[in-house]
Amino acid sequence: MLGLTYLTFPLFPASCPEFPMPASPLSRLRSARLPALLLAAAVALAGCGPQDAGGATDTAPETGDSDSFPRVVQHELGETTIPERPERVVAVTDGGELASLLALGVEPVGFGKRNDPIRPWIEAAGGAEIESYDLAGTEVSFERIAAWKPDLLVVQAGFATKENLAQYSALAPTVVTSFIDWKDNLRQVSEATGTTEKAAELVAENEAAVEDAAKALSGSKGLKVQAITVFEGPEIYRLNDASPLGKLAPSLGLAPFPKAGTPGEAVDTVSLEKLADIDADVLLVQDFGDDGPYRALKEQEIWKRIPAVKTGKVIELSVEESEASYFDSVLTVPLNLQMLQDRLG
């Protein structure tokens, strides 16, 4: 019996710097109710020694490019030794780490399910057929995870912290994955599971898809596209160059998204008074199932002074498009490319 059965985290983990916690309910994203603000704290990257990272030993194994074991995996909270090729992998959440596992062809024995129904890209990759437990209340059940008898845990930064990493590591070697960069996430998961060759193929496929999308959008070269999300308050967030769409824009020939105000954060707040300063040829508006704040914003005079509103170049994204463009993963890159082609082409 474990001393601590549950840990409770904010629905968007405090150390996931990518997006602020919305005040409105994003039921299809995390749960039926969200706290007032996402804590936009940077991921704690303080180094922890091999023993702290779980599963590490005093004997350093080879760390070459091959998929042999044992191997050391560098991750968000240090490094972890994986003694042998894992056969019972658990994804602690249904975020980027689960997307990476499924894309790599590694079927976990279980995962924590925060979204009901699960996101479309997870379902399309076979996630609906995998055993899960309800994580909608953000309570990580160590007893439930232990029941799967894992030999590897992959967990996104924020759900694993310096303070609780030892509790995960007591169950199995633990790799803490990036929340904000799909390539880092894929690298970490593939190195831990011995599937780096497949990971290289996936990266190449996504890069080829970017090149194809750039050709399809050649007529939009230099187009200034920006994206916002509106929550109660109103709380208005503008995606910056560290966001999923912001990282794609330059490779597609689009104008760069605004620079991140704080390194490691992919959105910045925009005050109501500064809203008319959004200089975009096309303005994308994300929708997470509660458009009340957005509808209220459109009634305000300041909204009508935005250049893209004046020219009728506001595009309201669907919930599915918004979710895909909100969370970075190996499986959402193709969806975001297709969305941009459909919406801008």
CA-to-CA separations, 218 to 156, 211, 247, 343, 345, in angstroms, rounded: 36, 10, 17, 14, 9
pLDDT of residue 155: 98
DSSP assigned state of 182? H
Average pLDDT, the chain: 84
Q: Is the pTM of this model over 0.75?
A: yes
> Which range has the worst mean pLDDT, 73-82, 113-122, 170-179, 309-318?
113-122
Closest CA to 13 of 77, 60, 70, 74: 77
CATH topology of domain 205-344: Rossmann fold (3.40.50)
Q: Which two tokens stand for residue 213?
A: 């999308």
Q: Do 6-196 and 205-344 agree at the fold level?
A: yes
Choice between 57 and 84, residue whose per-residue pLDDT is larger: 84
pLDDT above 80 for 54 = no
Average pLDDT over residues 209-227: 98
| Spans of all domains in the chain | 6-196, 205-344
* Strand boundaries in the chain, DSSP class E: 6-8, 71-75, 78-82, 89-91, 110-113, 132-134, 139-141, 152-156, 174-177, 225-231, 235-239, 267-269, 282-285, 314-316
Average pLDDT over residues 21-37: 31
Choice between 262 and 91, residue whose per-residue pLDDT is larger: 91
In a 3-state reduction of DSSP, which class is residue 298? helix
CATH topology of domain 6-196: Rossmann fold (3.40.50)
Give the separation between CA 187 and CA 177, rounded to whole angstroms: 9
- 71 pairs with which residues across the strands? 82
pLDDT above 60 for 20 = no
pLDDT of residue 117: 81
In a 3-state reduction of DSSP, which class is residue 320? helix
